[in-house]
Amino acid sequence: MKFNQQLKKIAVYTSGGDAPGMNAAIRAVTRIGINSGLEVVGVLGGYSGMLESQFQTLQLRTMANIIQRGGTILKTGRCPEFQKPEVRAQAARNLQAAGIDAAVCIGGDGSYTGAHALWTEHQIPVIGVPGTIDNDIYGTDETIGFDTAVNTALEAIDKIRDTADSHDRLFIVEVMGRDSGFIAAAVGLAGGAEEIFAPDFPVPLEKVIEKIKAGQAKGKRSSILITAEGQKPGRAYDLAEQLRKRSGLDAKVCILGHQQRGGAPTANDRILASRLGAGAVQLLLRGECDLAVGVQGGKVVAIPLEEAFTKEKHTPQDILQLAGSLAT
């Protein structure tokens, strides 16, 4: 969409779960914004901060020494009441009262939904930047934080493999991903997992048992299964229990948890975040909004924001299949 208002002051905020690389994106938005003659304001704590007018002017030097830091200097959070139109109206009034002409939202699909509403209901031009470790945002090949989370999980899995091998054990490792299996698929392939349980591609347990037993018959002594947490963190314990009941197989469980959300971003995430943060401001400077930036085939692109949070991006089935056929 095109907007007409003159751009003098823009806001940037992070929302939803934190993701390594969010700081690099904030830095890019701020520095491109200021170097293009704009004033840049950080909203502290996502939509909750917007409701409390928690606005802080950002300077070029505020951005020093953050590109390598995980988390988000602007803080983030969840603000369920933002789903109510009257609450969003208050947030819009606060932005307007602070002289903020447009905003860059760094977050996942929930954050994008709120951002789209700020434009459609209150004509506040917004651009979305995909910041989530889950990589489940349509319209971009990768989201900021995904690569770091995969590498963090992989490092842990390599260590677990040492113990699995030394003790001839079966392990079930649980990675993050409530609705998405991207992390599970990537670490499963890169970590040589026997089987990957993704929320959108369920695997019959009988098939897994058959595979493990066939491997054992061929002399395989240890295996690693990867599961995404799905709707209930701790799913790996349920799987282990079912395996034991149905087959007598004894699996150890390791839940990697929130460590996947933290830590220094990889080079890949810093580069992605810098390109997408800069791309977001460039779109606003051209008078374009209600878009989500992303990378496709190595190029920075933009798609309608609504498309980014309504269309589904599924776990790559080819990766799941390849991991399965390599673990024989």
CB half-sphere exposure, 52, CA atoms < 13 A:
8
**Looking at 82, 138, 171, 197, which residue binds ligand ADP (CB under 6 A)?**
82
Q: Kindly give, in sequence order, each residue whose CB lies less than 8 Å from that of residue 148, ignoring residues fewer than 6 positions away.
A: 19, 20, 21, 70, 133, 263, 264, 265, 266, 269
- Whichever of 14 and 30 has its CB closer to ligand F6P, that residue is 14
The site partner of 176 among ligand ADP, ligand F6P, none (C-beta below 5 to 8 Å per kind) is ligand F6P
Taking the complex as a whole, the smallest distance from the CB of residue 88 to ligand F6P amounts, in Å, to 22
- Whichever of 135 and 274 has its CB closer to ligand ADP, that residue is 135
Verify binding: residue 110, ligand ADP, rule CB under 6 A: yes
Verify binding: residue 85, ligand ADP, rule CB under 6 A: no
| Choices 76-84, 186-194, 200-208, 257-265 (CB under 6 A): range interacting with ligand ADP | 76-84
Nearest to 323 by CA among 168, 208, 169: 208
The site partner of 107 among ligand ADP, ligand F6P, none (C-beta below 5 to 8 Å per kind) is ligand ADP
Verify binding: residue 199, ligand ADP, rule CB under 6 A: no
Taking the complex as a whole, the smallest distance from the CB of residue 181 to ligand F6P amounts, in Å, to 10
The site partner of 138 among ligand ADP, ligand F6P, none (C-beta below 5 to 8 Å per kind) is none
Residue nearest ligand F6P by beta-carbon distance: 17
Nearest to 73 by CA among 51, 95, 46, 98: 46
Letters for 22-61 (x = contact with ligand ADP by CB under 6 A, - = none) are: -------------------------x--------------
Q: Are residues 235 and 206 in contact, defined by beta-carbon separation less than 8 angstroms?
A: no
Report d(CA 17, CA 111) in Å as an integer: 10
In degrees and rounded to multiples of 5, residue 98 shows phi and psi of: -85, 5
In degrees and rounded to multiples of 5, residue 66 shows phi and psi of: -115, -10
Q: Kindly give, in sequence order, each residue whose CB lies less than 8 Å from that of residue 235, ignoring residues fewer than 6 positions away.
A: 174, 197, 227, 228, 229
- Whichever of 185 and 283 has its CB closer to ligand F6P, that residue is 185
Q: Are residues 39 and 8 in contact, defined by beta-carbon separation less than 8 angstroms?
A: yes
Question: Cα 58 to chain center, whole Å?
Answer: 24
Taking the complex as a whole, the smallest distance from the CB of residue 290 to ligand ADP amounts, in Å, to 14
Residues serving a catalytic function are 134
Q: Provide the binding-site residues for ligand ADP, judged by CB under 6 A.
A: 15-17, 47, 78-80, 82-83, 107-111, 113-114, 117, 132
